Amino acid sequence: MKQKIFSTFSAFFVALALNQMAPVAATDTVPQRVADWVDAYQDFDLNRFLNFYADNVSFKDPTAGIDFPNKQALADAYSAIMQGRWGGDFRMDINSVVESDDTVVMEGIFSLSFNGEVAKMNFTTWLDFEDGLIVRQLDLFNYAALRRQIPTYGQGLPAEYTGPRD
């Protein structure tokens, strides 16, 4: 009899736990996609990275004067970046994330190496999602801090990767 009562209680708590977990999993799709997007970026996996974007994505970084009107333009730029034209490793350390409906805003520290020198700069990125894909990305990076740390940053790179001129 004790075994049957224990089994009934166990089944009840398992069912309760599963019921409590279901809403969390359902609402966790955008944050999980953002985490996967960061991983693909940091792994230099261009194909996986581009799978997060809609064909009609709008990508802007006014701090660098970048305005890519679609996925192909974004793919061309990131192809060059991920093939090492920036000179090495990237890392995004996310300090905070704010989510509202299908928009995610994150801020943190972006680290990169260029010609063997390492620099860090603050960034803020806005991602707007539709049907699980990024349709708009707005990046704001502190390129002035980058150039203070690595004065040679940008030598030999196309202008669109170096940020605005001081």
- DSSP secondary structure of 49-118: HHTTEEEEEEEEETTTTEEE-SHHHHHHHHHHIIIIIT-S-EEEEEEEEEEETTEEEEEEEEEEEETTEE
> Region 34-51: what's the mean pLDDT?
86
**What is the structure's pLDDT at 3?**
47
Architecture of the structural domain at 28-161: Roll (3.10)
**What is the structure's pLDDT at 122?**
95
**What is the structure's pLDDT at 87?**
52
- Among 28-37, 50-59, 82-91, 97-106, name the one with the lowest average pLDDT: 82-91
- Among 67-81, 85-99, 125-139, 146-160, name the one with the lowest average pLDDT: 146-160
C-alpha 29, offset from chain centre: 14
Q: What is the pLDDT of residues 96-113, one digit of tens each?
A: 999 988 999 999 999 887
| Other C-beta atoms lying within 10 Å of the C-beta of residue 163 | 21
> Region 35-56: what's the mean pLDDT?
88
- Mean pLDDT taken over the chain: 76
pLDDT category at 61 given cuts 50, 70, 90 is very high
CA 138/CA 122 separation, integer angstroms = 14
